[in-house]
Amino acid sequence: MSDEETETTETADDQESASYDHLIEDHRRLSQSFIWRRHRAFYDEQGVGAWTSGTIPWFVTSNASVARAYAQVIDAFLRDIADGAFGPMAPDAVIHVVEVGAGHGRLSYMLLERLASLAQAGESQRFRYVMTDFAQSNIDFWRAHPRLKGYFDAGLLDVARFDAEVDTSLELQISGEILSEGTTGPLVVVANYVLDSLRMDVFCVQEHALYESRPAVYSTQPEPDLDAPGLLDRTAFVYERVPASETPYEDVEFDAIVSRYAEMLDDTAFTFPVGALRCLRALDALSGGRTLLLSADKGYLHEAELGERAEPQLVTHGDAFSFSVNYHAIALWFLQRRGIVLATTPRDGALTINAFASGVMRPSVPRTVRAFGEFVEHFGPMDFAAIQYDIRSDSSMSVHALLALLRLGDYDAWLFYRAVDALVARLERPSVIVRAELRRLLPLVWRNHFHLGADHDLAFEIARAYSAIEAYEEALRFYALSIDTCGDSAITRHNMALNLYWSDRLSEALKCVEASIALDGSYEPPQVLRPKILDRLEGA
């Protein structure tokens, strides 16, 4: 997965010119390589730092547009359940929505907000959201996050440490309940940008014969320590193809999928998502075979996308990496479980979003099918992801187009953050309508904000927008919030002084401008403003 925030500067030419002379691991199944150890250690060590440092991209799978679409599909599913999709259900039964690899928690928060507000209509089955990850530091971060406190207190949110490749039950850390096999009831699973991070193997079909493609790992230098940070960036795979056994996994479900590929494909390679399928099997066992999976990732689902593929190489982000997800195999697995596949038509971008359900046919979940069509397939988050960057970088956009973009993105805070310079530049003489729209929209943007660290000071940017429409009280409130959340600065104090000056609160303006000068004597704007304030105070 990539978005523009983390674009690499390395070119294909750079990669080709490196020489991978040093064998560091001999051929073996990809799922058994040492590389997974380093990848897992990275997430464990970094915690939320994986995102605040900008190492791991997140926006495309964790924005407000995704949250809106998922909330609509999940709410529809909860209504279908209440209507008897899986037979009679006690009205007070709670359906768990389990997010796997929730990471930073931004999607969880925005999705929970929307689900909670849709649930107020009272027509759907009750739910509880469960954020999970295998990194305890992420869980500790969520537990301390002020945005989530109300949901924990209301019992709408819980957390669990869940290693998707190993665990078969979930121990909820707030309520103490354990979700285990057969006791859990129907389940919704959200898995964004995580199935591509779980163990997989590689096969290929050549002249109608099936081979296992086993990578050997080479590096550009000797590697005495295979756990050394940064090592994966220096590696490349060289594959050998060995005839595959008819039962490579000695697992009826998995082997059936692999042998189906041997029949239907030729002259192509494919990955087998063994880690993702083990995870889904464990979760499906909890729900007694009544699971809805919603998943966004780079990957492919349609048969036509399986042709002419090469064996994959690593795509690294720091010491983590990802491969494209073979959603086609995941679809086959759900079909084995008498389930359904809600697929989006392939777009040309990296992102695909699909839904799968076990234990139901389409007629029993009509609302879910309709919501998926309306909110995901027909102009949904995939299309939003495809166009938002191009639109944002169009410097000729009018203020009306920028506001429309923010509405299109469901008032996403990061989208606003990236668009705010262009927006403020076009607010020289805003019309009454533009002012009113900004007053409506800015609180919604703030509501979507899930603070990860002091690097991106959204409160400051919102304050600038309020200031540009002469909403000085609100601007001052957000500058104060900026100081609370991201620390004091001469610039913030000077901006506050200006807003106070424009509101004729001259003594307070003087205090602020002096605070600005005290914070940074070399910053010029407050030196210019101070005499103006003093003049007005003397004339008053």
Ligand X SMILES: C[S@@+](CC[C@H](N)C(=O)[O-])C[C@H]1O[C@@H](n2cnc3c(N)ncnc32)[C@H](O)[C@@H]1O
User: What count of Cα atoms within 13 Å lies in the side-chain half-sphere of residue 122?
Assistant: 0
Name the nearest CA neighbour of 309 among 348, 270, 265, 272. Answer: 270
Q: Is 321 one of the binding residues for ligand X (CB under 6 A)? A: no
Nearest residue (CB) to ligand X, 80 versus 284: 284
Looking at the Cβ atoms of 134 and 300, the one nearer to ligand X is 134
Q: Which C-beta is closer to ligand X: that of 79 or that of 317?
A: 317
The pair phi, psi for residue 159, each rounded to 5°, is -135, 155
Contact between 56 and ligand X (CB under 6 A)? yes
Minimum gap (Å) between residue 324 Cβ and ligand X: 14
**HEC profile for 280-311?**
HHHHHHHCCCCEEEEEEEEEECCHHHHCCCCC
Shortest spacing between CB 105 and ligand X, in angstroms: 8
Q: Which CB sits closer to ligand X, 107 or 399?
A: 107
Give the closest residue to 515 by CA, choosing from 534, 533, 496, 538. Answer: 496
DSSP H helices, 393-449, are: 399-408, 413-425, 432-447
Instruction: List the structure tokens of 113.
Output: 């907000």
**In the complex with ligand X, which residue's Cβ is closer, 412 or 474?**
412
Phi, psi for residue 139 in degrees, rounded to 5: -65, -40
Backbone φ and ψ for 258, nearest 5 degrees, come out as -65, -40
By CB under 6 A, residue 164 contacts ligand X: yes
Query: For tokens 């900026």, what's the residue?
Result: 482
Span 421-440, contacts to ligand X by CB under 6 A: none
Footprint on residues 20-49 left by ligand X (CB under 6 A): 43
Q: How far is the CB of 228 from ligand X (least distance, A)?
A: 20
Distance in angstroms (rounded) separating the CA atoms of residues 201 and 214: 8
Count CA atoms within 13 Å of residue 211 on its CB side: 18
Stretch in the footprint of ligand X (CB under 6 A) among 53-61, 173-181, 344-352, 502-510: 53-61
Q: 160 or 445, CB closer to ligand X?
A: 160
Hey, which residues between 173 and 192 contact ligand X (CB under 6 A)? 192
Contact between 163 and ligand X by CB under 6 A: the answer reads yes
Q: Give the nearer residue to ligand X in terms of CB position, either 43 or 466.
A: 43
Name the one range near ligand X by CB under 6 A: 156-164, 410-418, 457-465, 481-489: 156-164
Q: Of the ranges 57-65, 69-77, 117-125, 470-478, which one interacts with ligand X (CB under 6 A)?
A: 57-65
- 496 contact partners, CB below 8 Å, separation of at least 6: 476, 479, 480, 512
Identity of the residue, 197 or 358, whose beta carbon is nearer to ligand X in the bound complex: 197
Residue with tokens 């066992």: 285
Least separation in angstroms between residue 165's CB and ligand X is 4
Shortest Å, Cβ 371 to ligand X? 21
3-state secondary structure 145-156: CHHHHHHHHCCC
Residues 58, 203, 327, 334: which binds ligand X (CB under 6 A)? 58
Alpha-carbon span 54 to 3, nearest angstrom: 11
From the list 61, 65, 482, 516, which residue makes contact with ligand X (rule: CB under 6 A)? 61
Nearer Cβ to ligand X, position 47 or 185? 47
Among 71, 76, 97, 135, binds ligand X (CB under 6 A): 135
Sole binder of ligand X in the list 25, 27, 38, 62 (CB under 6 A): 62
- The whole-angstrom distance between residue 139's C-alpha and the CA centroid of its chain comes to 16
Q: Site residues for ligand X, window 332-391 (CB under 6 A)? A: none
Binding string, 189-228, against ligand X, x = CB under 6 A? ---xxx--xx------------------------------
- CA angle, 367 then 372 then 377, to 5°: 150
Q: Does 323 bind ligand X (CB under 6 A)?
A: no
User: CB of 24: closest distance to ligand X in angstroms?
Assistant: 22
Between CA 449 and CA 462 the distance in angstroms is 11
Query: How far is the C-alpha of 352 from the C-alpha of 339, rounded, in Å?
Result: 20
Q: Is 255 in the site for ligand X (CB under 6 A)?
A: no
| CB contact at 8 A, 459 and 154 | no
Q: Which residue lies nearer to ligand X by CB, 197 or 287?
A: 197
Number of residues this chain uses to bind ligand X (CB under 6 A): 23
For residue 417, give the nearest of 448, 387, 386 by alpha carbon.
448
What are the beta bridge partners of residue 22? 219
Cβ distance 300 to 327 under 8 Å?
yes
CB nearer to ligand X: pick between 3 and 508: 3
Considering beta carbons, is residue 163 or 514 the nearer one to ligand X? 163
Alpha helices in 120-162 (DSSP H): 136-143, 146-153
Query: Which span (7-15, 82-90, 133-141, 237-245) binds ligand X, by CB under 6 A?
Result: 133-141
Supply the minimum distance, in Å, between the C-beta of residue 453 and ligand X: 15
CB of 138 to ligand X, least distance (A): 6
How far is Cα 280 from Cα 356, in angstroms, rounded to an integer? 11
By beta-carbon proximity to ligand X, the closer residue of 141 and 211 is: 141
Nearer to ligand X, 58 or 501 (CB): 58
Using CB under 6 A, which residues numbered 96 to 115 contact ligand X?
100-103, 107
Q: Which amino acid is at 297?
A: D
Nearest distance from residue 107's CB to ligand X, in Å?
6
As a whole number of angstroms, the distance between CA 501 and CA 509 comes to: 6
Structure tokens belonging to residue 444: 């919604």
One-character DSSP codes across 62-87: SSHHHHHHHHHHHHHHHHHHHTTBTB
Q: Which residues bind ligand X (CB under 6 A)?
A: 43, 56, 58, 61-62, 100-103, 107, 133-135, 138, 162-165, 192-194, 197-198
